[in-house]
A and B are shown apart, each in its own frame.
Chain A
């Protein structure tokens, strides 16, 4: 039986990393939980929850009590947290599991729906790409593609022709464009393309791919500038290594040195930038989605922070934290598998 022998060291490494991921995720949840519970107000303060029967008669006290019991808002804080994280027996005696089973809890803003239902289930008759999650993932992936496809060549070019007119114009263009606040760029885009040229609608139908262009470009601009800067710096760094002098001294041509020595060395540091880039794009997408009213995580986040929808805020932060932490875990592991120097440590 062909079985793969896993060295004890590697096994310990994986257990260690798994424990670390669990610890980080739980702490992030605790941090966010404490923060949103220090925000004054209750989830029922929002106008749409003040169901007014007549004049200024609001929702009655006993109904409020029932709601609080249903959402566990009458419990002490620590029990609310364990209820969210691990699960709790509800008033009818049934144990309902928490985040550990993938249940992100009931939303207090959209009554009757759970957070995972709002975020991950598509509208009736549509594919999974049309869910909130699908929208955000698609937006981020398109922007990621733009950054990788444009950023690496532009950065390599800037480094190759260091100090040339090309280098200087690329760097000043991106310094200029990233100095404009991103929301102003968004407003300008809307004013130019929607109000003046009338190419798009201000409130577009997002299932039409042509409307995706503006938010994607806006999302990609700042990371693209960073990508170019990083690629340029790593190529310059690789070009000043001693082995380059050796390679040139032994008579290797300039282009061969470039392809055989400089690029492979620089690419390692560029690749390590790509995974954190995904997290950076995900974080930036919250703001971009807010500007365009894009139906992804970001819009859900902004409406729920205003209404103190605790479960939704914690759910979105949790998914983001998962993305970042697993990206880092993946990076660590691949490093370890690829680079023997890391394994020795």
Chain B
């Protein structure tokens, strides 16, 4: 016999609370990073390069009590770098997600609302962009932008933001486009239109509120993707500035930590540990939250087992 549907799986269980706690904690760390980090993450000390974490001694080097997570190849403090990485990730998410969401919503609504020609053009555009592998596209955008003046603003933050926004708006635009078409054909729209409502009123008062759950779920699901993309760029070894004049975004981000951890893998594998665990915690929190939201606020989600 098939069991009855348990409502507990969609109610607010401890996993969701834990996820919210983790996200809040990391945001707070990011917010107060300059206050709580023990060192300046950019300060180099050549004498103490590649030390393991404080509690660990290798045959070659001992852990230093002053540097909790050890030091990297230039003797920079990893603990401070991880703390500042939370701040960097926060800035990146706050810049990239709204930009991608804005482009996605605008294109999706225009595609769903506009006439046949506009719709066809926009759908072809989406087809073209999705025919290039997203990650390759991002790499090419970064390589093209990093030498320009725009690319150097905030140590390359703008470059990463644009690269992420340019590859990720497509998915949201498709979702929005499909649901605008669905909402457009419903009776209350006809009613509202016959009462004399203009296009602006229809879009802002009827269409967009219907799409809000889509956007919320999209934001929650894509936030870890931004952080992952930045980390992956670090892993592949792509410098976000062509010439690092000491202001590079990667000097403060988890991606940069992964970049240096990977080059020092045989000397100090512990560099990779902390950023990986942070990314793991963030990704898991956001996926748990995303699943919960998907089942809870999606008006079309069906789980009523009729069997």
Contact = CB atoms under 8 A, between A and B. Distances in A.
A239 B262 CA distance: 48
Interface stretch (B171-179, B197-205, B209-217, B282-290): B282-290
Given A35-B141, A39-B144, A245-B306, A180 B280 contact: yes
A286 B231 contact: no
Contacts of A180: 276, 279-280, 283
A239 B137 CA distance: 40
Given A162-B305, A175-B287, A32 B135 contact: no
A305 B236 CA distance: 12
A239 B133 CA distance: 35
Q: Which of A35, A167, A248, A313 is the most central at the interface, judged by chain B CB atoms within 10 Å of its CB?
A: A35
Contacts of B265: 187
Nearest to B282: A179
A153 to B, nearest CB: 17
Nearest to A27: B128
Given A23-B124, A244-B307, A254-B307, A179 B302 contact: no
Nearest to A179: B283
A182 B141 CA distance: 22
Nearest to B139: A305
Contact of A239 (B9, B135, B235, B305): B305
Given A175-B287, A240-B306, A248-B307, A32 B132 contact: yes
Interface in A31-89: 31-32, 35-36, 38-40
Contacts of A282: 133
Contacts of A31: 128-129, 132
A302 interface: yes
Given A163-B6, A180-B280, A301 B131 contact: no
A184 B272 contact: yes
B111 interface: no
A224 interface: no
A328 B124 CA distance: 13
B304 A240 contact: yes
Interface string B228-240: 1001100110000
A4 B9 CA distance: 55
A35 B128 contact: no
Interface in A1-51: 20, 23-25, 27-28, 31-32, 35-36, 38-40
Contacts of B147: 39-40
**In the complex, which of the residues A27, A163, A171, A241 has the most CB atoms of chain B within 10 Å of its own CB atom?**
A163
A71 B112 CA distance: 45
B135 A286 contact: yes
Interface in A270-323: 282-283, 286-287, 290, 301-302, 305, 313, 317, 320-321
A320 B134 CA distance: 11
Contact of B2 (A25, A160, A183): A160
B149 interface: no
B302 A237 contact: yes
Given A175-B284, A320-B133, A36 B140 contact: yes
A171 B303 CA distance: 16
B279 A164 contact: no
Contacts of B139: 305
B174 to A, nearest CB: 12
Contacts of B224: 179
Contacts of B60: none
Contacts of B190: none
A164 B8 CA distance: 11
Contacts of A32: 132, 140
Interface residues of B, number: 51
B131 A24 contact: yes
B40 interface: no
Given A176-B284, A179-B224, A28 B132 contact: yes
A232 to B, nearest CB: 10
B45 interface: no
B302 A240 contact: yes
Contacts of A191: 269
A28 B135 contact: no
A179 B287 contact: yes
Contact of A257 (B8, B140, B307): B307
A114 interface: no
B185 to A, nearest CB: 14
Nearest to A229: B291
Contacts of B280: 179-181
A168 interface: yes
Contact of A163 (B8, B137, B231): B8
Nearest to B125: A27
B143 A39 contact: yes
A28 B133 contact: no
Contact of A248 (B143, B287, B306): B306
A20 B125 CA distance: 12
A101 to B, nearest CB: 21
A325 interface: yes
A231 to B, nearest CB: 15
A287 B131 contact: no
B217 to A, nearest CB: 13
A301 B129 CA distance: 19
A283 B133 contact: yes
A302 B237 CA distance: 11
A248 B302 CA distance: 18
Contacts of A161: 2-3
A302 B288 CA distance: 34
List 8 A-B pairs, minimum CB-CB distance, nearest first.
Answer: A179-B283, A163-B6, A283-B133, A38-B144, A321-B131, A240-B302, A179-B284, A40-B147
23 contacts: A23-B124, A27-B124, A27-B128, A39-B143, A40-B147, A40-B242, A161-B3, A163-B9, A168-B9, A175-B287, A179-B279, A179-B287, A181-B231, A181-B232, A181-B276, A236-B303, A286-B135, A287-B135, A302-B236, A317-B132, A317-B133, A317-B136, A321-B131
